[in-house]
Amino acid sequence: MKVSEMAESLLGSHIQRISNEISDLQKQGKKIYNFTVGDFDPKIFPIPELLKEKIIQCYRDDITNYPRINGTPELRESVSRFIKHREHLDYSPEDILIGCGARPIIYAIFQTVLNPGDKVILPVPSWNNNHYTHLARAGRIEVETLPEENFMLRIEQIEPFIKEASLLALCSPQNPTGTAFGEQDLIKIFTRIVEENKMRMNKGIKPLYVMYDQIYWMLSYGATTHFNPVTLIPEMRDYTIFVDGISKVLASTGIRVGWGFGPSGVIDKMKSFISHMGAFAPKAEQIAVAEYLNETNEVNKYIEWIKATINSKLLKIYNGITALKSKGYKVDSIAPQGAIYLTVQFDLHGFKTPSGKALNSTGDITTYLMNEAQLGLVPFYAFGSNQESTWYRLSVGTCRDDDIPVVMEKLEAALSKLS
Ligand SMILES: Cc1ncc(COP(=O)(O)O)c(C=O)c1O
């Protein structure tokens, strides 16, 4: 059946494909520790009890009609207070747009600031920027980031492309790497963007916008501090569109409440995308989230718990991988800084399995780990890295504490069988 060229070449999610492979193995009765999905097991990470009660109450109160297209005033006011209190960002409720999760906000950003053929600078690995660029019929400038730089983009890497780009897609803490930008690296990037945009303004050219996806920002660990463009360089306010929401920090991926904020002229146009797609967050959820976010003590308690719980799992696995590395196995990991992910390396190309089969590709290694260690991970090529990248994303959203020593044992056994 003929469809548009854009739809014809639109790719599905790689991660979904790996998840399907895992489901098939599980259907055959095989136990798999599935650390592939950027989601939470609600039995391990339930949403805040008070939020749940408030959502149920809103439905009991028959809050079931259309919300305003840019979000209920209650939620936009609540988000405005929330970001002022927690991030010292001053945005009025009119400059905040609510969507059914962060994804429609991201979609609307790409559609709003890009013309067909415009270019987007995106780091690889990164989450889904390739698909949103494709949907906007724009071109990609993919910049491969480096393990020694925690897979975070540097100004030197993007400098050659700044003049031709219309959008820079950034995320911190980052999916898939669980690493975050440092202050000085961001200052260098944004200083250059302000300079570029001054020049563009003089010539009447569309600025280089920055999408700043900070959906994991409240999940930052240890000494990691979260920085944002506008606090660092106030002139960035005219060019920065923020992405945020409750999906990750409140383990509420299925509740579907996200938001964006930025310059009025951009947010106002993005509103129309949300409206025409009907990508509103349900009104009951919006009212419930608005009330919940105002309960500062409850929110603080929940965030403290979820951060400690995620960080402890990330650190246990990180320490386990580091111990395997010190035993001489060809594995490595980057210390976790944020989000729900750990970056792990399996440098196993060329090794032979007990049956004599050589691990020739990342796909072979992924399958070996799945079959022998019962461990499901997502290789970085699923996030745009080159096919031979030896790095993987491990998500702890579905990881039980009891699983960790078992997984480490199975992993060591699987690695020890390679020659
Ligand atoms: C970086 C990043 N942004 C946005 C999202 C989407 O969030 P939502 O579920 O609110 O649409 C995700 C989900 O995995 C993500 O990792």
For residue 39, what pLDDT is reported?
Answer: 93
In this prediction, what percent of the chain has a pLDDT beyond 70? 100
Picking from 69, 50, 48, the residue whose alpha carbon sits closest to that of residue 281 is 69
**Hey, which of 171, 214, 244, 248 would you mutate to test ligand 1's pocket, going by the most ligand atoms within 8 Å of its Cβ?**
248
Residue with tokens 């792990």: 344
Tell me, using a 6 A CB cutoff, whether residue 245 lines ligand 1.
yes
Query: Mean pLDDT throughout 301-305?
Result: 98
| Residues 352-369 pLDDT 10s | 999 999 999 998 999 999
Q: Atom 1, ligand 1: which residue's CA is nearest?
A: 175
The CA 50 to ligand 1 mean position distance, Å, reads 23
Query: Which ligand 1 atom is at minimum distance from the Cα of 258?
Result: 10
Task: Find all residues with CB under 8 Å of 412, minimum gap 6, and list them.
Answer: 324, 327, 329
| Alpha carbons 212 and 416: distance in angstroms, whole number | 42
User: Residue 38 CA: which ligand 1 atom is closest?
Assistant: 14
pLDDT band (50, 70, 90) for residue 13: confident
**The pLDDT of residue 211:** 98
pLDDT tier at 227, thresholds 50, 70, 90: very high
Of 127, 220, 257, the residue with max ligand 1 atoms within 8 A of its CB, to mutate for a pocket test, comes to: 127
Q: Is the CB of 32 under 6 A from ligand 1?
A: no
pLDDT, mean of residues 337-348: 98
For residues 100-123, give the mean pLDDT: 98
**How far is 259 from 78, CA to CA, in rounded Å?**
12
Ligand 1 contact via 215 beta carbon (within 6 Å): yes
> What distance in angstroms lies between residue 218's CA and the mean position of ligand 1's atoms?
14
**230 and 237 in contact (C-beta within 8 Å)?**
yes
Kindly give the distance from the C-alpha atom of residue 279 to the centroid of ligand 1, in angstroms, as a whole number.
15
Question: CB-based contacts of 207: which residues, under 8 Å, 6+ apart?
Answer: 196, 197, 200, 201, 238, 239
pTM for the structure as a whole: 0.97
pLDDT of residue 248 exceeding 80: yes
* Residue 137 identity (one-letter amino acid): R
Distance 103 CA to ligand 1 centre (A): 6
Q: Could you give the CA distance from residue 389 to residue 381 in angstroms, rounded to a whole number?
A: 7
Ligand 1 mean position to 39 CA, how many Å?
9
For the Cβ of 111 lying below 6 angstroms from any atom of ligand 1, the answer is: no
Predicted confidence (pLDDT) per residue in 55-88, tens digit: 999 999 999 999 999 999 999 999 999 999 999 9
Q: Is the CB of 104 under 6 A from ligand 1?
A: no
State what percent of residues in the chain have pLDDT above 90. 94
Ligand 1 within 6 A of CB of 38: yes
What does the pLDDT read at residue 12?
Answer: 78
Of the candidates 221, 216, 223, 212, which has an alpha carbon nearest to the alpha carbon of residue 173? Answer: 216
Does the pLDDT at position 276 exceed 80? yes
**Phi/psi of residue 392, each to 5°?**
-135, 155
Token digits of residue 83: 């970001």
pLDDT of residue 329: 98
Q: How far apart are CA 41 and CA 272, in angstroms?
A: 34
**pLDDT given at position 188:** 98
Domains along the chain?
Answer: 5-45+301-416 (3.90.1150.10), 49-295 (3.40.640.10)
| Rounded Cα distance, 33 and 36, in Å | 9
**184 vs 17 pLDDT, higher one:** 184
pLDDT at 20: 83
pLDDT digits (tens, 9 = 90+) for 166-210: 999 999 999 999 999 999 999 999 999 999 999 999 999 999 999
Cβ 297 vs Cβ 304: under 8 Å: no
| Ligand 1 center from residue 263 Cα (angstroms) | 22
Give the CA distances from residue 309 to residues 251, 375, 412, in Å, rounded to whole numbers and listed in that order.
Answer: 12, 21, 25
Q: Which residue has the higher pLDDT, 136 or 15?
A: 136
Amino acid identity for residue 350 in this structure: G
Of ligand 1's listed atoms, the one at least distance from the Cα of 174 is 1
